[in-house]
Structure 1
Amino acid sequence: MYPIILLSVLGVVTLFLGFSKSKNILLPAVLFFLVLAIASNFVEWNKGPLLYFYDMLRVDNLTLAFNGIVLLSAFMIVAISGGFQDNPDSEPAEYYGLMLFSLVGALMMIGFEHMIMLFIGVEILSVAMYILTGSNKRNLRSNEAALKYFLMGAFATGFMLFGMTLIYGATGSFKLSHIHGFASNIQAGTQPFLMYAGLLLLLIGMLFKVSAAPFHFWTPDVYEGAPTIFTTFMSTIVKTAGFAALFRLLNTSFSEIYGFWWIIIAVIAVLTLLVGNIGATSQNSFKRMLAYSGISHAGYMLIALTALTKPSQSAIVFYSLAYSLSTICAFGVLILVSKEKTFEGQPNERYEAFNGLAKQNPVLAFVLAVSMLSLAGIPLTAGFWGKFFIFTSAAERGIIWITVIAVLMSAVGIYYYFRVIISSYLKEGDLIKIRVAPFYQVILLLATFLTILFGLAPGVFEGLI
C-alpha cells in the first residue's frame, strides 16, 4: 500500500520538477523515488494479509513479491532511459510522471481485492501507456501504434466491464471473497450461466493486456512503433501486472469452478505458444521478434494458470522476474545498437544490426547472449528454471499434453533466439565501437548477473511467498 501512496505523490512532484531550468535533476530524482518505493514495499513483508481502502486492496507476500518485480523493472528501465536527451522534442518530466502514475495502476492490479480496484488499476496503467506509445509525435509508426493500441484497448476494456457487470449480477458483489463464496456454494446440477458468461468476458479483457492469442494482434505493431524504452516498459511491467491480476482473480474467486474455465485457458495457452513461436521465426526485425517472443512467453505463464497448483504461485513469480530481466537486457542492447545504425531512415532494429557486435563490443554481446539464452530456456539461466517450474506445475496437475506442446515450442524458440547470438559472434559487420554510459552498463550487467544467479540458485524464492 505504501508504494501506491508514494508513487502517486512523487508522480506529481516529478511533473513540478519539469519546471526547473535544469533537466539533469529529473533522472536521478526519479531513480531515487523508485528506490524509496522499493524500500517501502517490503515494510509490510510477513505482516499480511492486510486489507486497505475499505477492503478493496489486499497486501500479502504474493502482492509484495509482484510489486517488487514491477518496481525493480521500472528502476532498471528508467536507468537506461538516458533522460530522453536524444529527442529534442521530448518532455522528460511528463514521460517520467506518466511512468510513475502507470506504476500506481500496475500495483493496484496486483493487489486488488475488489473488481472496481482492478478496473481503476487497468485504466490508470493503460491510459498512461497509450500516451507513451505515441510520444514520438513526428514518427508515423508511433502515431499508428498509439491509435491501434488505444482503439483495441478501449474495445477490450468494454468486454472487461461487461464481464464485471454480469458477475455482479450473478453474485451480488464485486469483492473477490464474496464471489468465491458464491462459487463455492453452487448446488450440484445447476449452471450459473450469468457468472460463467461474465468470467469469459472478463478473461477476454485481461488476456488482451497480456498479449495472449487470439487477442494479440496489436502487439507486433505497437511494440515496433512505440519508442523502444516504452516498449521495454510495456513488455515487462504491463505483462507482470496482468498475470498477477489474472492469477489473483482465478485463484481467489474462481478456483471452485476450475472445471469450467481450465480447458479454455489451456486452449488459449497452446494457441498463444503456437502464434508466438511460429510468428517469431519469420521476422527480420529484432524488435518485432521480441514482440512475438512476448506473446509466446505469455503462453508459458498461462500454463501455470491452467495448472493452478500450489507450485503455480512460485512458478509464475519466478518466471515473471526471469522474463523481465532478460527482456530489459535485450531491449537495452537494442537501444544502443539501433542508435548507431540506420535502415531506410529509421534506427536499424533488424538482426543485421548486430553483425560483428562481439568484436568491438564484447560486453554488449555477452549481455545480449545471456538474455537470449535465458529467453530460450537454456540451463544455467533463470529462464530455464522458470520454464521448469511452469512445466512442473502442469505435470503435477496431470496436464501432460500441454507440457509436451510447450517443450516442442521451446525448441522452436531456440532457432530465432540463436539467430541474434550467431549475428553477434559469427557474422562480419560494421566495426563500430558503441559508447556506453557507465551507469547504463552497470544496469545491464546487474540484470545479466541476476539472470545467471537465479539460474544457479533457483530456490531463492522457495518458501518466501
Structure 2
Amino acid sequence: MTAIIALSLLGILNLFLGFWLSRKTIQAATLLFLAGSMALTALDWNHELLWYGHMFHTTNTSISFSLIIQLAAFMVVSFSKGFGIDEEHTHPAEYYAILLFSVVGAILMVSFDHLIMFFVGLEILSVAMYVLTGSDKRNLRSNEAALKYFLMGSFATGILLFGITLVYGATRSFYLANIAVAIANTPPESTPVFLSIGVLLILVGFLFKISAAPFHFWTPDVYEGAPTIFTMFMSTVVKAASFAALYQLLSGPFGTMYGTWVYPIYYISMLTLLVGNITAVYQQSAKRMLAYSSISHAGYMLLTVSANQASTPSTILYYSLSYTLATIVAFGVVMLVAEYQTGRTEKPENFSSFEGLAKQNPGLAFCFTIALLSLAGIPLTAGFWGKFFVFSDIFNRHVYYPVILAIVMSAVGVYYYFKGIIAIYFKEGDIERIELPGLVKFAMWACTLGTLLLGVYPSIVKNLF
C-alpha cells in the first residue's frame, strides 16, 4: 500500500519536475521513483495486510505481481530514449507521470478485495492507456488507435460494470469474501440466473482487456498505431494485471461456480490460440506479428486459469514474468530498428527492415533472437518452462483437447517467430551500427539474461509460494 501512495505522490511530483529539470533528468528521476516503489513493495513480503476497510489486501501473491508490473514499467522507461528529442511536440514529464499513475491502477487490480476497488484500478489503468495510445498527435495511426481503443474499451467496461451490478444484486456485497460465502450458501439448483449472467459478463469484460478472441479485434490496430514504447507497456503491464485479477475472481468468490465459467473459457482459449497463431503467420509487419502473438499468449494463460490448480498462481506469475521480459526486448528491438529505418524504407516495421541486422549489431540481434525463442517456447529459455507449466496444469485436470491444440499451435508459433531470426541472420541487408544509450543497453541485456536465467533455473520464481 505504501508503494501506491508513493507512486501517486511521485506522479504528481513528476509533473512539477517538468518545469525545473531537463528532459533527460526527468527520465532518471522516474527510474529512481520506480526503484523506490519496488523497494517499498518488497518490504511488505510475508506481511498480509488489509487496507481501506478491507478493500485492499496485500499478500505475497499480490506483491509478486506488483513487482512484475513495476519491473516492466522500469524497463519501459529505460527504453524511452526518444522522449524529449522533439521539444515542441513531446512532453516527457506528463508521459512519465501518466505511466506512474497507470502502475498505481495495475497494482490496485492485483491487490483488490472489493469489486469497487478493482473497478477503480481498472479505470485508472485504462484511461492512462487511452491517453498514451494517442500521444503521438501528429500520427493519424496513433489517433485512430486511441479512438478505437477508447470506444471499444468503454463498451467493454460498461459490460463488466453491468456484470458487477448483477453480482451485487445476487449477493448484496462487493467484498470478495462475502460474495464467496453468499454463493457457497446457495444450493446450485437455486443459483439465480442473473448471478450466472453477471459472472459471464464480468468474464467478457476481462476477455477484452486480455485480447482474447473473439474480443481481440482492437488489438492489432491499437498495438500497431500506438507509439511502440507504449505498445510495449500495454502488452506487458495490462496483461499481467488483468490475468492476476481474473484469477483472483475466478478462484475466489466464483470458485464454487466452476461449472458455469470453465467451459466458456476452454472454448475461448482454444479459439484465441487458433486466431492468434494462424493470423500471425501471415503478418509482414513485426509489430503486428507481435500483436497477434500477444493474443495467442492470452490463450495459453487462459488455459492455466481454467485449470484452477494449486500451482496455478505460481504458473501465472512465472508466465507473466517470462512473457514480460521477452516482449520488452522484442518490442524494444522493433522500435530501435524502425527508428533507424524511418526514411530509408517505406515500411520500417516490416521483417524486411531487419535483414542483415546481425552483421553490424550482433548484440542487438542476439537479444532479439533470445526474445523470439522464449516467446516460441524453445528450451533453455523462460518461455519453454512457462508453456510447460501451463500444459501441466491443464493436463492434471484430465482435459486433453485444449492441451493437444496448444501444443500444435506452439509449433505454428515457431514458424512465425523464426521469420525474424531468419531475416537478421540469413538475409542480406545494409543496416549500419545502431548506437544505443547506456540505459537501453542495460534494459535489453537485463531482460535477456533474465530470460536465460529463468530458462535454466525456473524454480527461482516457481517456488516463491
Q: Distance in 2 between matches of 1:195 and 1:317?
A: 29
Which digits, 9 at most, give the CA deviation of each residue in 1:267-306, with x for residues without a partner? 1100111110011011110000000000000000000111
Q: Which residue matches 1:55?
A: 54
Offset, 1:346: 6.4
Give how far 1:439 is off: 2.2
What is the alpha-carbon distance in structure 1 between the residues aligned to residue 170 and residue 457 of structure 2? 46
Contact 1:339 1:347 (8 Å CA) reproduced = no
Match of 2:141 in 1: 141
Match of 2:442 in 1: 442
Q: CA separation in 2, counterparts of 1:391 and 1:261?
A: 20
CA shift digits 1:26-52 (9 cap, x unpaired): 01100000000100011110121x211
AA paired with 1:354? Answer: F
CA distance in 1, matches of 2:268, 2:285: 26
User: What residue identity is the alignment partner of 1:267?
Assistant: Y
Unaligned ranges ≥5, structure 1: none
Please give the residue correspondences for 1:261-272 in structure 2 after superposition, counting only pairs within 5 Å.
261-272=261-272
When the two structures are superposed, what TM-score results if normalisation uses the length of structure 1? 0.98
* Distance in structure 2 (CA, Å) of the matches to 1:396 and 1:464: 21
In the alignment, is residue 385 of structure 1 matched against residue 385 of structure 2? yes
Tell me the SS of whatever aligns to 2:189: coil
Distance change (3 Å), C-alpha of 1:236 and 1:147: same
Equivalent pairs counted in the alignment come to: 464
Q: Is the 8 A contact 2:315 2:462 kept in 1?
A: no
Match of 1:249? 249
The sequence identity of aligned pairs, in percent, is 53
Q: How far apart, CA to CA, are the structure 1 residues paired with 2:360 and 2:136?
A: 31
CA distance in 2 between counterparts of 1:87 and 1:265 reads 45
1:129 equivalenced with 2:159 (yes/no): no
Question: 1:455 aligns to what?
Answer: 455
Q: 2:32 aligned with 1:32, yes or no?
A: yes
- Is 1:227 the equivalent of 2:234? no
> How far has the Cα of 1:190 moved from its partner?
2.2
Aligned residue number for residue 410 of structure 2:
410
> Equivalents in 2 of 1:21, 1:15: separation in Å?
11
Cα displacement string for residues 211-251 of structure 1 (whole angstroms, at most 9, x for unaligned residues): 11111000000000000000000000001001011011111
Q: 1:442 to 1:228 in 2, by over 3 A?
A: same
Equivalent residues in 2 for 1:101-250 (5 A)?
Answer: 101-250=101-250
SS in structure 2 at match of 1:454: helix
Cα distance in 2 for residues equivalent to 1:398 and 1:71: 36
Secondary structure in 2 aligned to 1:58?
strand
Distance 1:51 1:60 in 2: 9
| 2:329–2:448 contact (8 Å) kept in structure 1 | yes
User: Per-residue deviation at 1:345?
Assistant: 7.4
Find the counterpart in structure 1 of residue 71 from structure 2.
Answer: 72
CA distance in 1 between partners of 2:210 and 2:243 (Å): 7
Aligned to 1:306: 306
* Paired position in structure 1 for 2:360: 360
Tell me if 1:41 matches 2:41. yes
Distance between the aligned counterparts of 1:86 and 1:145, measured in 2?
23
Cα deviation for residue 344 of structure 1 reads 8.8
| Larger mean Cα displacement after TM superposition, 14-23 or 99-108 | 14-23
Q: Would you say 1:85 and 2:54 are equivalent positions?
A: no
The verdict on how the C-alpha distance between 1:100 and 1:214 changes in structure 2, with shifts beyond 3 A counting, is: same
- Which SS does the other structure have where 1:19 is aligned? helix
Contact 1:26 1:83 in 2 (8 A): no
More moved, 183-192 vs 380-389: 183-192
Contact 1:210 1:242 in 2 (8 A): yes
Q: Is the 8 A contact 1:286 1:351 kept in 2?
A: yes
CA 213–386 in structure 1, closer or farther in 2 if over 3 Å, else same = same
Is the CA contact (8 Å cut-off) linking 1:269 and 1:303 kept in structure 2?
A: yes
SS at 1:71's partner residue?
helix
The 3 A distance-change label for structure 1 pair 344 and 107 is same
- What residue in structure 1 maps to residue 20 of structure 2? 20
Q: Which amino acid aligns with 1:383?
A: G
Change in Cα spacing, 1:345 to 1:414, as seen in structure 2 (3 Å) is closer
**Per-residue CA distance 1:119-151 (angstroms, 9 max, x = gap):** 101110010110100000000000000000000
Q: Which runs of 5+ in 2 are unaligned?
A: none
Contact 2:345/2:353 (<8 A) preserved: no
TM-score by length of 2: 0.98
Native 8 Å contact 2:318 2:462 kept in 1: no
SS at match of 2:57: strand
SS of residue in 2 equivalent to 1:84: coil
Contact kept, 8 Å, 2:228 with 2:335, in 1: the verdict is yes
Q: Distance in 2 between matches of 1:417 and 1:37?
A: 35
- The 3-state SS of whatever aligns with 2:41 is helix
Kept after mapping to 2: 8 A contact 1:24/1:83: no
Aligned to 2:333: 333
Q: Counterparts of 2:344 and 2:191 in 1: how far apart (Å)?
A: 58
The answer (yes or no) to whether the contact 1:27–1:83 under 8 Å persists in 2 is: no
Mapped to 2, the partners of 1:188 and 1:22 lie a distance apart of 62
Q: Equivalents in 2 of 1:393, 1:217: separation in Å?
A: 29
1:24 Cα deviation after fit: 2.4
How far apart, CA to CA, are the structure 2 residues paired with 1:295 and 1:421?
A: 21
Q: Once superposed, what is the RMSD of the aligned Cα atoms?
A: 1.2
Secondary structure of 1:211's match?
Answer: coil
Structure 1 residue 336: Cα displacement: 1.0
Structure 1, 189-198 or 156-165: larger mean CA deviation: 189-198
Counterpart Cα distance in 1 of 2:375 and 2:461: 19
Distance 2:339 2:386 in 1: 32
Measured in 2, the distance between the counterparts of 1:462 and 1:235 equals: 22
